[in-house]
Amino acid sequence: MTARTRQGPLDGLRVIDMSGMISGAFATTMLGDFGADVVMIEHPKVGDPIREWPQKADDGTSLSWKSLGRNKRCITLNLSSERGQEIALELISDADLVFENFRPGTMERWGLGPDTIHDVNERAIVVRLSGYGQTGPKSHKPGFGTIAEGISGWAHANGFPDREPLLPPVSLADLTAAQFALQSSLMAIFERDIGRGGSGEGQVIDVSLTEPLWRLFFGEVEAYDRQGHIRERTGNRHPNTAPRNIYETADGYMTMSASNQKIFERVANAIDKPELIDDDRFETNATRVEHADALDEEIAAWTRERTTEEAIEILEANDAIVGPVYDMADVFADEQFRARDAIVEIDDDDIGPTKTFAPVPKFSRTPGEVEFLGPKHGEHNVEVYGGELGFSDEKIATLEADGVI
Helix 23-33 × helix 172-193 angle, to 10° = 50
Which residues lie below 8 Å from residue 130, measured CB to CB, with a gap of 6+?
101, 102, 103, 104, 139, 143, 207, 208, 209
264 burial (CB, 10 Å; 0-12 / 13-18 / 19+) is buried
The Cα 15–Cα 29 span in angstroms is: 11
The whole-number pLDDT of residue 1 equals 77
* Amino acid letter for position 122: E
**Residue 168 pLDDT > 80, yes or no?**
yes
Grade residue 329 by pLDDT with cuts at 50, 70 and 90.
very high
Cα atoms in the Cβ-side hemisphere of radius 13 Å centred on 101 = 30
Cα–Cα distance measured from residue 88 to residue 98, given in angstroms and rounded to the nearest whole number? 11
* Measured distance CA(126)–CA(112) in Å, rounded: 11
Instruction: Give the helix, strand, coil percentages of the chain, each rounded to 5.
Output: 40, 15, 45
Q: DSSP characters for 6-55?
A: -SSTTTT-EEEE---SSHHHHHHHHHHHTT-EEEEEE-SSS--GGGGPSS
Long-range contacts of 297-302 (CB under 8 A, 24+ apart): 298/271, 298/273, 299/243, 299/245, 299/247, 299/256, 299/267, 299/271, 300/247, 300/248, 302/271, 302/272, 302/273
Mean pLDDT of 264-283: 97
Confidence of residue 83 (pLDDT cuts 50, 70, 90): very high
Rounded-to-integer distance, Cα 27 and Cα 33, Å: 10
* Averaged pLDDT for residues 388-395: 97
Segment 207-243, tens digit of pLDDT: 999 999 999 999 999 999 999 999 999 999 999 999 9
State the SS3 of 239-258.
CCECCEEEEECCCCEEEEEC
Q: Which helix (H) or strand (E) holds 152?
A: none
Q: How many CA atoms lie within 13 A of 149 on its CB side?
A: 18
Confidence class of residue 259 from pLDDT cuts 50, 70 and 90?
A: confident
Whether the predicted pLDDT of 45 surpasses 90: yes
Mean pLDDT of 348-364: 97
Please count the helices (runs of H) and the strands (runs of E) in the chain: 18, 11
What's the confidence (pLDDT) of residue 373? 98
Burial class (CB in 10 A: 0-12, 13-18, 19+), 122: exposed
CB 41 within 8 A of CB 18: yes
In whole angstroms, how far apart are CA 85 and each of 123, 156, 311, 332?
19, 42, 62, 45
User: Which residues does the annotation mark as catalytic?
Assistant: 174
Average pLDDT over residues 355-383: 98
Confidence of residue 2 (pLDDT cuts 50, 70, 90): confident
pLDDT over 80 (residue 306): yes
Integer Cα distance of 381 and 385 in angstroms? 6
- Going by pLDDT thresholds of 50, 70 and 90, the confidence category of residue 43 is very high
Predicted confidence band of residue 109 (pLDDT cuts 50, 70, 90): very high
Helix (H, G, I), strand (E, B) or coil at 279: coil
Q: Quick one: which H or E segment has residue 97?
A: strand 97-100
pLDDT for position 98: 98
Q: Please give the share of the chain, as a percent, with pLDDT higher than 70.
A: 100
Question: Domains (ranges, CATH) in the chain?
Answer: 14-215+342-401 (3.40.50.10540), 244-329 (3.30.1540.10)
What is residue 30's predicted lDDT score, i.e. its pLDDT? 98
Residue 134's CB is within 10 A of a number of other CB atoms, namely 15
